[in-house]
Amino acid sequence: MSDKLLAYSAAAGAVMAIGQTAKAQVEYTDLDPDVTVMTAVSGARDSVFLDINNDGTNEFLIIHGNGDWYGSFISIRMQNQNKGAFVKTALNYACSTWGGLYNFPAKFDQGSMIPDVDSLFTPLGSNASFSYSMQLGWASTGGTCVSGPWKGVTDKYIGVRFALDDSTSFHYGWIRLDVAADFGSAIIKDYAYEQTADTKISAGDGMPVSDRNGILDREDLQVFSSGSNVIIKASGDFRAEAEIINTLGQRVKVMQIREGRTEIPVNRSGIYFIRVSTEDAMITRKVFIQ
């Protein structure tokens, strides 16, 4: 199994979180480039961990398996991690002579409200089961059966929630993805969550308007690492505060930045979150310092 920790280094792919305004309280993370989970190797699987609130603790795991489920099916499934949970729905999908009512991750359209009803969510915590309740769908390796509610979807959302404290309050969010018609792969595009506990969120909330139209201009701000330095490049009339945060949530450095190129040295190697905040937006980037 190849487990991928998203954006563990600059070379592994950019992760950018863009909040709307401070009032919106939605933190949005764009996976740039999109992350594909797939494996063409029989008997193997590929998986991607998702850390919805970028605090260093994974809430979900999306798996693509090739022949590792009952030895003869390609499948895509989702598992809870730590204090994560997702909305499930009971549907009847059949293959050949077997079928039945099974639980799947519910599929939401953009703008649909993510519910806050306890009974609609999977239990909190790690769930490594290969049960039907985790499946988005499956295909027999011979191609005689391709079944499941996420077959061939584009820009659909999984409704999620997670707990940060004693599990008496929750933060709600969504994950957007595409799934191939033959379940040969899934593409994870972005995700977001409501920073205010016990507050509802709609699928797509927090997503920049330009991104909803398929165009997101990131040319005015670039955040990346080079050796032991964090590099921030901004154009135009730009003023913001930059925070460097370690995986324990501790602020290592805070400074004001303006347009042009800013280099910030970091003494210790490891994974860091670079949060750049203006009056009406917030961008968070994971980088690896050597």
Pick the CATH number of 221-289 from 3.40.190.10, 2.70.180.20, 3.40.30.10, 2.60.40.3080: 2.60.40.3080
Cα atoms in the 13 Å half-sphere on the side-chain side of 269? 4
Burial class (CB in 10 A: 0-12, 13-18, 19+), 195: middle
Residues of the chain with pLDDT under 70: 1-24, 44, 68-71, 94-100, 126-133, 141-143, 208-220, 279-282
Per-domain boundaries in the chain: 2-212, 221-289
Write down the residue that tokens 């925070």 correspond to: 243
Q: Determine the pLDDT at residue 172.
A: 96
Q: Determine the pLDDT at residue 171.
A: 94
Q: Determine the pLDDT at residue 179.
A: 93
Note whether 262 and 274 are within 8 A (CB). no
Burial track 230-248 (b if 16+ CB lie within 10 A, e otherwise): bbbbbeeebebebbbbbee
Each residue's pLDDT tens digit, 197-222? 999 898 988 876 444 433 333 456 78
